């Protein structure tokens, strides 16, 4: 019996309603692009890079990869910052940290985390408003968050002095594993997960109301 005959015999037992398989080569290409991209790769960019392929085939390849990674113990396929990324599973992060010997300088201070939380839930917001909520001057912390591209200046407030307005960035979404601002958890949950006490003046803002849309 030839390989072709064996294939035909195997196929004859497949259910007639089974979905057609996604091309292995296309799926491999999509996986390579997502893995190699330094930031989440968006569907729009995937379609552009694979312009010669039908969009439905590219979407099917993404769906097939997502299903495959659901079964992998070390890696996972995630939707983050409006795109796709292949990352290590959260329960394995400590082992990955050992590999990279994460430096303390890369970690945000408690003051940085508090300030970032205020901006995330109250954006767009001025430096004075942040200081009023936290009860301390935040100019130095804001500079650090800007340098790390976790926040950005999105305009000026129409009041005396026209102070800058601050909001979070796409890098913020990537860093905290959020697909968009609607994924923000309750402030209490976020503070507990990151290990700090939320500022007393920070009242939770429903992420679905009043938050500045993310535009990059």
Domains and CATH numbers, the chain: 20-91 (1.10.10.10), 104-194 (1.10.10.10)
By DSSP bridging, strand 151-156 and strand 164-168 are: antiparallel
Give yes or no for residue 69 having a pLDDT over 80.
yes
pLDDT in tens, 120-168: 988 999 999 998 888 777 878 899 899 888 999 999 989 888 899 999 9
pLDDT in tens, 8-67: 444 444 444 444 445 788 999 999 999 988 889 999 999 999 999 999 999 999 999 999
pLDDT in tens, 165-185: 999 998 898 888 888 888 888
Residue with tokens 């950005």: 152
Decide: 112 and 156 in contact? Cβ < 8 Å: no
In 75-104, which positions are buried (b, 16+ CB within 10 angstroms) versus exposed (e)? ebbbebbbbbbbbeeeeeeeeeeeeeeeee
Decide: 150 and 170 in contact? Cβ < 8 Å: no
Question: In whole numbers, what is the pLDDT of the chain averaged over residues?
Answer: 78
């Amino acid at each position: 019996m030839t390989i072709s005959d064996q294939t035909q015999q195997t196929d004859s037992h497949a259910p007639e309603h089974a979905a057609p398989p996604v091309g292995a080569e296309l799926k491999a290409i999509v996986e390579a692009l997502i893995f190699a991209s330094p930031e989440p790769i968006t569907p729009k960019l995937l379609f552009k890079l694979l312009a010669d392929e039908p969009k439905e085939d590219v979407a099917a390849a993404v769906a097939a990869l997502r299903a495959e990674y659901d079964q992998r113990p070390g890696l996972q396929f995630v939707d983050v910052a409006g795109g796709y990324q292949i990352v290590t599973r959260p329960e394995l992060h400590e082992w990955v940290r050992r590999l990279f010997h994460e430096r303390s300088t890369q970690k945000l201070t408690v003051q940085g985390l508090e300030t970032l939380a205020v901006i995330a839930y109250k954006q767009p917001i001025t430096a004075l408003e942040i200081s009023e909520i936290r009860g301390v001057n935040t100019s130095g912390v804001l500079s650090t968050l800007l340098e790390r591209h976790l926040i950005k200046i999105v305009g000026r407030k129409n009041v005396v002095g026209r102070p800058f307005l601050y909001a979070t960035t796409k890098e913020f979404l990537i860093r905290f594993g959020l697909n968009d601002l609607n994924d923000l958890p309750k402030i209490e949950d976020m503070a507990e997960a990151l290990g700090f006490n939320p500022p007393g003046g920070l009242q939770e803002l429903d992420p679905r109301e009043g938050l500045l849309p993310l535009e990059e």
